[in-house]
Amino acid sequence: AQKLDLVFQHIRNVPDFPIEGIVFKDICPILKEPKALAAVMDLFEEHVRQNHPHTELIVGLEARGFLFGPLLAQRLGIGFVLVREKGKLPGPTMSVEYTLEYATAEVEIQVDAVDPGQKVLVIDDLLATGGTLCAACELMKKQKAQVLGCLVVIELKDLRGAEKLPVPVFSLLQC
Ligand code: 5GP
């Protein structure tokens, strides 16, 4: 509870970002305070060791999944791979398109990033509508990986993103 409090205290609500009417959850203060970042990593590590001890790979989403994912992978002694926006990764890639409110986006991964059957966890900073994590899970399915679950620091419960996902989501904080 103390660790969760520390994490909670280092999330900043930014009104009207990126557009009017949205209250953005800014996780930058967590990264600026080593004790808060350590608390995030402790809580994630504990969860994975208890619930998914056979995880082989952490898959992180651009951009803020890249901040937490490699640290967690290091703690677990496993690898980290990147899911990026289309057009950023070199070499043979595969991608999945998904719909945003008024447009479409595409996430991409290198084809040799994950082996068939590999057990993976997908990590990002925040779950909103679930579109992004859902696309990443689809990408994993295309690569024949076994997705054990998703990890996020913050889950915006009202948007019911978890219901859209094919696997359980573990969130440190629910807002
Ligand atoms: P979703 O696809 O679930 O609707 O949106 C989640 C994605 O948008 C995540 O990659 C997350 O980084 C970003 N995102 C959306 N809203 C916020 C927010 O309030 N704070 C942060 N830190 N990220 C957000």
Measured over all CA atoms, what is the biggest interatomic distance in the chain, rounded to whole angstroms?
45
State yes or no: pLDDT of 34 exceeds 90. Answer: yes
Q: Is the CB of 108 under 6 A from ligand 1?
A: no
Atom 9 of ligand 1 has which residue's CA nearest to it?
Answer: 126
The model's confidence at residue 102, banded by pLDDT at 50, 70 and 90, is confident
Rounded CA-CA distance 26/119 in Å is 30
- CA atoms within a 13 Å half-sphere pointing along the CA-CB vector of 25: 19
- What mean pLDDT comes out for the span 49-62? 98
Among 97-111, 114-128, 161-175, the minimum mean pLDDT is found in: 97-111
Residue 156 confidence (pLDDT): 98
Contacts 24+ apart (CB under 8 A), 100-107: 100/131, 105/131, 105/132, 105/135, 107/61, 107/62, 107/83, 107/132, 107/135, 107/136, 107/139
pTM above threshold 0.95: yes
25 lines ligand 1 (CB under 6 A): yes
> Mean of the pLDDT values across residues 79-103?
95
**Which residues lie below 8 Å from residue 21, measured CB to CB, with a gap of 6+?**
none
Share above pLDDT 70 across residues of the chain, in percent, rounded to a whole number: 100
What letter would DSSP give residue 159? G
For position 100, what pLDDT does the model report? 85
Q: Is the pLDDT assigned to residue 101 strictly greater than 80?
A: no
Among the residue ranges 21-35, 89-103, 119-133, 161-175, the one predicted with the least confidence is 89-103
| Residue nearest (by alpha carbon) to ligand 1 atom 5 | 128
User: Once rounded to an integer, what is the mean pLDDT over residues 112-135?
Assistant: 98
Ligand 1: does its nearest atom lie under 6 Å from the Cβ of 64? Answer: yes
Residue 174 has pLDDT above 90, yes or no: yes
Q: Is 30 in the pocket of ligand 1 (CB under 6 A)?
A: no
| Torsion on CA atoms 140, 68, 165, 13, rounded to nearest 10 | -150
Average pLDDT across the chain, whole number: 97
Question: In terms of DSSP bridges, do strands 93-99 and 12-15 run parallel, antiparallel, or are they unpaired?
Answer: unpaired
- Sign of CA pseudo-dihedral 160, 162, 165, 166: negative
Supply the pLDDT for residue 90. 98
CA distances, 99 to each of 40, 43, 88, 131, 162 (Å)? 30, 32, 19, 7, 17
Q: How far is the CA of 131 from the centre of ligand 1 (A)?
A: 9
Of all protein residues, whose CA lies closest to atom 24 belonging to ligand 1?
126
